[in-house]
Structure 1
Amino acid sequence: MFAGTHVLVGYDGTPESERALRWSAREAVMRHLPLTVCHAWRRPYPLAHTDHDGVDAVERMGRQLLDHGVSLVEEGAPALEIRGRLLEGGPYSALLNEGREAEQIVIGSHRPDGMPASSVALRLPARAHRPVVAVRPPTGGPIVVGVDGSAGADAALGFAFEEAALRERPLHAVYGCWEPGAPPDGDLSLFDDEDELRRVCGAVLERAVAPWLVKYPRVEARTVLRTTSPRQAMLAAARQAAVIVVGDRGTGEVVELELGATTDALVRRAPCTVAVIPSTVS
């Protein structure tokens, strides 16, 4: 679905980015793709400043850091084809531009309670047209994917089933169906009858998952319907997940939001690794 030429990972020497290195190396090996390790460096002065020695020193340090990241991957995956990319500028723009043909873009992530609004983990998936994976400390459990009948959710299902097959993990498809503000006016009566809501939304969930069960018959998959909001359902599921996979935007989202409300909440608060999947591919 997201056929790319390589897996891209951002590296800045932090423990979070070293986790991202390990994740991305495994992804590249499983997907039989080369790995691109990217480090972005910034000039210490405005362009008008003429201290070339200072600029050269910062660029040199960036090169050393990048080489260290590449060597870490080489130690763990000696047969993997690895390319280092040293780019001038901020990490957001570097990864956005370098990732245009990536199978996925992998980044380290702050702990859930310490993420600033300007975090690359929030900005990048809102603009990238490729899957963005924000890696957190390893956890056990299934691959969890959010379902709501949207195009973004179908793309997320495809990514999640492939990930479950590659990692040989079970998959849980979760639908938090309590969204009175999302459906057309004609469907509002569903929220006065919980049994009918479960019947209608359960059918949506089963239809969404069915084609992927055919494509990935060896994946152990189950569907989970919750009569709570999508945000509540997915945050609860994230507590037991190895990876949680969501579309960039669901049904009934506010256009002005960078990410859909549920996806934004998961990137900020989920304890596990979060994969954000765009509904469109550039």
Structure 2
Amino acid sequence: MDGVERNRGEHVLFGYDGTAANDTALRWAVEEARLRGLELVVCHSWHWPYPPGHEDPHGEAVMKRVGENLLEHGALRAAELGAPGTVRTRLMRGPVPEALLKASGRAEMVVIGSHGRVDAGGTAMEVPARARLPVIVVRDGKGRDRVVAGADGTEWCDAALGFAASEAALRHWDLHVVYGCWEPAAVAECELALFNDPDLLEKTRAAELEDRVGPWRDRYPKVDIRVSLLLERPWEALSNAAEDAGLVVLGDRGTGTGPLGSTAAAMLRGTRGTVAIVPAEPA
């Protein structure tokens, strides 16, 4: 843990739904808690689906009791998987994204599972878009022992690079930082001329990338950090590099019109691996 970047949260928060597919994400959450020396909090939300005026106290009590039983099972399963200390549980009421966001106030990070298509409005898209702490979305949990991080050469990617470097250090994995810099629609007008001279563009962006990566090389000297500057669009560059990665890390900011940057949203929709979305925290 010495020297590892931290958000100074008190625990790892995990969204539990009791399904077999959710077990892969639970394993990841347990490992995060163990590696970081934090408690694990297993959270479940139950939701009365009918509109006001159609309440049923007996039915709601049954649903709440089912949620409590499910959480008890989740805590036992987390302990079986090696969760450190006592696994705490938290039962919430309401839509899952709202419940997780409300419960995340003192967390170091949120871990959720995703088994199926990721759509706008779904938990796997809504929570990373609105959380102010890292959110890890776990799919199949497979991939090689390396972290791939997306960068853009600005201070907006610093938080994502710090998180990626700390994950690589904790897991003893390599880190591959990827910068797809062919994005003329996203730059200031004064920089458009760079795209008429690919050599100058590459030289300029390479210097920017090294400025961002250099401090993390110094902080984590034992992590093998490799960088790739590619004259490709960010999504293309990152998706190709991340195809077999154990973890992909990128920031929430970008050029998209929605609450998430376009590259972050595309990675959540298009990759089968585990993706961490880290909120930008510029100086």
Shorter-normalised TM range: over 0.9
TM-score (normalised: structure 2): 0.93
Aligned CA RMSD, in angstroms, stands at 1.5
| Counterpart mapping for 1:202-221 below 5 A | 202-221=206-225
Task: Give distance in 2, aligned partners of 1:202 and 1:173.
Answer: 12
Of 98, 111, 115, the match for 1:93: 98
The letter for the 1-side match of 2:72 is: D
Rounded Cα–Cα distance in structure 2 between residues aligned with 1:89 and 1:204:
44
Partner of 1:14: 19
**2:22 corresponds to which letter in structure 1?**
S
Instruction: Please point out which of 27, 41, 45 is paired with 2:46.
Output: 41
Which of 59, 62, 67 is the aligned partner of 2:64? 59
Amino acid in the other structure paired with 2:136: V
Change (3 A) 1:212 1:90: same
Decide whether the 8 Å contact of 2:97 with 2:127 is kept in 1. Answer: yes
- Structure 1 letter corresponding to 2:268: V
* Counterpart amino acid of residue 165 in structure 1: A
| Letter paired with 1:2 | N
Of 5, 11, 26, which residue of structure 1 is paired with 2:10?
5
Give the 5 Å matches for 1:48-197. 48-77=53-82, 79-111=84-116, 114-137=117-140, 138-197=142-201
Specify the alignment match of 1:244 in structure 2. 248
1:235 maps onto 2:250 in alignment = no
Equivalent of residue 30 in structure 1, options 31, 35, 52: 35
Q: Distance in 2 between matches of 1:181 and 1:170?
A: 32
Identity of aligned residues (%): 44
- Residue 8 of structure 1: how far off its partner (Å): 0.2
Partner amino acid, structure 1, of 2:152: D
> Is the Cα contact below 8 Å between 1:44 and 1:58 reproduced in 2?
no
Partner in structure 1 of residue 3 of structure 2:
none
Unmatched tracts of structure 1, length 5 or more? none
1:278 equivalent in alignment to 2:282: no
Decide which moves more: 72-81 or 99-108.
72-81
- 1:50 positional shift: 4.8
Which TM-score applies when normalising by structure 1? 0.93
Change (3 A) 1:10 1:182: same
CA contact under 8 A between 1:44 and 1:54: conserved in structure 2? no
Deviation at 1:43, TM superposition (A): 1.9
Alpha-carbon distance in structure 1 between the residues aligned to 2:55 and 2:44: 24
Question: CA-to-partner distance for each residue in 1:140-179, whole Å, 9 max, x for gaps?
Answer: 1410001102333110000000000001000001000001
- In structure 1, what residue type is equivalent to 2:23? E
Report the CA distance shift for 1:176/1:78 in structure 2 as closer, same or farther (over 3 A): closer
Q: CA deviation at 1:268?
A: 0.6
Cα 1:86–1:172, aligned 2, differ >3 Å: closer, same or farther?
same
Alpha-carbon contact 1:144-1:238 (below 8 Å) kept:
yes
Structure 2 CA distance, aligned partners of 1:261 and 1:150?
A: 17
Aligned length: 276
Looking at structure 1, the residues matched to 188 and 175 of structure 2 have their Cα atoms a distance apart, in angstroms, of 30
Indicate how the Cα distance of structure 1 residues 266 and 44 shifts in structure 2: closer, same or farther if over 3 A, else same: closer
SS of corresponding position for 2:144: coil
The residue that corresponds to 1:261 in the other structure is: 262
Contact 1:238-1:271 at 8 Å conserved across structures? no
